[in-house]
Amino acid sequence: MSKSIPARLKPHLPPHKSSATRVISVFAACCCSSSSATYHHDPAVVGYSQEDVALPSRILELFSSWSVKHSKVYVTPKEKVRRYEVFRQNLKHIVETNRRNGSYWLGLNQFADVAHEEFKAGYLGLSTGLAGAGGRPRAPTTAFRYEAAVDLPWEVDWRKKGAVTPVKNQGRCGSCWAFSTVAAVEGINQMVTGRLESLSEQELMDCDSTLDHGCGGGLMDFAYAYIVGNQGIHTDADYPYLMEEGDCKEKQPHSKVVTISGYEDVPENSEVSLLKALAHQPVSVGIAAGSRDFQFYKGGVFEGTCGTQLDHALTAVGYGSSNGHDYIVMKNSWGGGWGEQGYFRIKRGTGRPEGVCDIYRIASYPTKNNGTGWGWGA
């Protein structure tokens, strides 16, 4: 019989409560049995060796090999020089952060030649300002169906239960809100119908334009409302992603759509509430991701530095504990080369109501009745 959280449900899972917590497997095959210090200095993980950063000539060689690996092509020599300088400064930050031997580490990724302000402008797209002075849209009901939940499992991983599609890549477009929405809908649809289907972020980009703004940002609740009002969302195969906004396409004959019944908000600033919801289904979450540490996160349990405002959306797909660190695991939309094969673990149980990077401030999930499954285009 599996271990459960006591009925009183403490704000975070007690680490090392039993042998079960000591053997919790690491999400996304992260292999955290070794010390974090090992990962901080493993070239295969962080993308550089100590010798690479010892001399300017070695840094230049590292930049060249990194450029080839990521298929970087610079139009002019001047642009290449500028990008090298950005790369050098980013590498310096990564090296200095990893020398602290904290609970997480950074590494060279596809953003290594991207200045931080450029990164924030191009890849973060949660727009809480769209909701007006209230800071977030409100679900049509204030109900939280998991409020009375007790005896939650010590760990949850919706990927292992077949409710999570492979990691996707939003590209240089502030469409994280669409990916967060779609991942949560993919999850609840699989749980109700038994079928895991990759759904269309592009449809939300093109058609959900009343309050959301494509690459210009959006909010998950508005996207859920669109799916409900539109009586479903197409599959990615029928409406593929373009990494840019396009014209809204009408439903095609015989095209499959996935429906939801509605959506609900998780009570704000409540770790307990998020865990209750996450124990039952994947959840859309907004975080303050506008920091260089988040830009270059490679692995471990993240506990800061964070951004100054909610500006990015991910999907929470599990929680657990590893090496004394309690965490929530998130699916990101920056491809498998970022983070832990596209995933991100963030520390929980800090005692702060809003959580690390404000992860408990804005979270929501779709609802789906057993009678609402597949539909077909008109």
Is there a single domain that holds both residue 203 and residue 86? no
Structural domains counted in the chain: 2
Neighbouring CB atoms inside 10 A of 352's CB total 13
Catalytic residue among 90, 109, 189, 332: 332
Is there a single domain that holds both residue 314 and residue 273? yes
Is there a single domain that holds both residue 146 and residue 45? no
CATH number (domain holding residue 53): 1.10.287.2250
Helices then strands, counting H and E runs in the chain, come out as 11, 12
Is there a single domain that holds both residue 88 and residue 233? no
**Phi/psi-derived region of residue 112, left when phi > 0, alpha when psi is between -120 and 50, beta in every other case:** alpha
Catalytic residue among 40, 213, 312, 325: 312
Domain boundary among 113, 143, 165: 113
364 to each of 185, 285, 287, 336, how far by Cα in Å? 11, 7, 13, 24
Is there a single domain that holds both residue 211 and residue 234? yes
The residue count for the chain? 378
Is there a single domain that holds both residue 79 and residue 156? no
DSSP 199: B
The answer to whether 217 and 130 have CB atoms below 8 angstroms apart is yes
Distance CA 152, CA 146 (A): 11
Is there a single domain that holds both residue 126 and residue 94? no
Residue ranges making up the domain that contains 42: 36-113
Is there a single domain that holds both residue 169 and residue 72? no
Is there a single domain that holds both residue 70 and residue 164? no
Is 176 domain-assigned? yes
pLDDT in tens, the chain (378 residues): 444 544 434 444 434 343 333 333 333 333 333 455 566 668 888 889 888 888 899 999 999 999 999 999 999 999 999 999 999 999 999 999 999 878 999 999 999 999 999 999 999 988 776 554 344 555 666 789 999 999 999 999 999 999 999 999 999 999 999 999 999 999 999 999 999 999 999 999 999 987 888 899 899 999 999 999 999 999 999 999 999 999 999 777 778 899 999 999 999 999 999 999 999 999 999 999 999 999 999 999 999 889 999 999 999 999 999 989 999 999 999 999 999 999 999 999 999 999 999 999 999 999 999 855 544 343
Distance CA 163, CA 158 (A): 5
Is there a single domain that holds both residue 105 and residue 129? no
Distance CA 51, CA 129 (A): 46
176 noted as active-site residue = yes
In the structure encoding, which two tokens stand for residue 59, read together?
């840094």
Domain boundary among 61, 80, 113: 113
CATH number (domain holding residue 148): 3.90.70.10
- For residue 28, give every residue at least 6 positions away whose Cβ sits within 8 Å of its Cβ, in sequence order, or none: 159, 329, 340, 341, 342, 343
Is there a single domain that holds both residue 85 and residue 133? no
What integer pLDDT is reported at residue 143 of this predicted model? Answer: 84
Domain boundary among 69, 88, 113: 113
312 noted as active-site residue = yes
332 noted as active-site residue = yes
Alpha helices in the chain (DSSP H): 19-22, 36-40, 43-46, 56-69, 77-98, 116-123, 176-193, 201-207, 220-229, 271-278, 292-295
Give bridge partners of residue 321 from the DSSP assignment: 326
Catalytic residue among 176, 215, 306, 357: 176
Is 55 domain-assigned? yes
The answer to whether 319 and 327 have CB atoms below 8 angstroms apart is yes
Is 21 domain-assigned? no
Is there a single domain that holds both residue 246 and residue 290? yes
Integer-rounded Cα radius of gyration of the chain: 21
